[in-house]
Structure 1
Amino acid sequence: MADRVVLAAGAWSANLARQLGDRIPLDTERGYHIEFDLEHSPLNRPTCPVESAFYMTPLHSDEGARLRVAGTVELSSLAGPANPARFDYLESRVRKVLGIDAPVARRWLGFRPTLPDCVPVIGPSPNEPRVIHAFGHQHIGVTLAGVTGRLVSECLAKGSPEWITPCSPARF
């Protein structure tokens, strides 16, 4: 049995924190993604047609090429249905920009945890100090993973450093 827990469940973290009595105003940014399976990618690097506000990323494997297209973030819930118009927008724009006629192979939503103050939650739960929260990094969770891991280890080893107070879950 564990005597400490790190809560780092991304967009699902607020629901878990609520079970401890922690009310954290985490919301969800939903990013729309489509992929095309292609014989050869028309791109050799990630590209953004700025006027359309989405990214196209070539992905290569032994089976061939894929093109991932992502963009059009919306604030919504984890449970809300996908907005088909956002998928359609990505598909029509990438077809216009690259002239792709292959069918869309996959569509999905990516969920990003977002907070009203844009500051992640890192530190002990105000209601259960054996639980360390570490979530809400907006779009840069992977980028901040290393430093967040260091901060979490400090919280677990010696308690939360004073300078991390702006990230405290108690700020809500």
Structure 2
Amino acid sequence: MTTNYVLDDFDREILRRVQLDARVTGEDIGADIGLSAAAVQRRLKHLRKLGVITAEVAVVNPAAVGQAMTFIVGVELERERVDMLDAFRVAARADPNVQQCYYVTGEADFVLIVTAKDMDDFEVFTRRLLFDNANIRRFTTNVVMARDKVGTVVPV
């Protein structure tokens, strides 16, 4: 995002609306906030160009597509050299089971949010991404019992 650009109240309201429903029309937003549909579309285009809006996607219920289990995995690396960190990042980004990957402080170096069909599928994942990686010192796994809140909306 450009550091010189300051969001105004119209931008913030547009962002609130499209975060809840990316299919909302410029006409609907404009009618609610007092702008023309064309002005809303210009602002959306500008927010995309700046990188404020990074994607517009459909959020899929993992269980509805056979990914019934979710895991929170803490990963501790043997070495934290930049090339080793980057190699793990690349592998985590490329793995279809990894939904989120965070480089963190604390006991773990990375925290992953992982989905799997079942425990067997999760074991295949751990072998592929974790056990086969010589730079993984250890990892811990928490099984998610319930998805009480999963969000993508950022307060603006």
**TM-score class, shorter:** 0.3 to 0.5
Q: TM-score, with normalisation over the residues of structure 1?
A: 0.33
The two structures have a TM-score, normalised by structure 2, of: 0.36
Greater fraction of residues in strand: 1
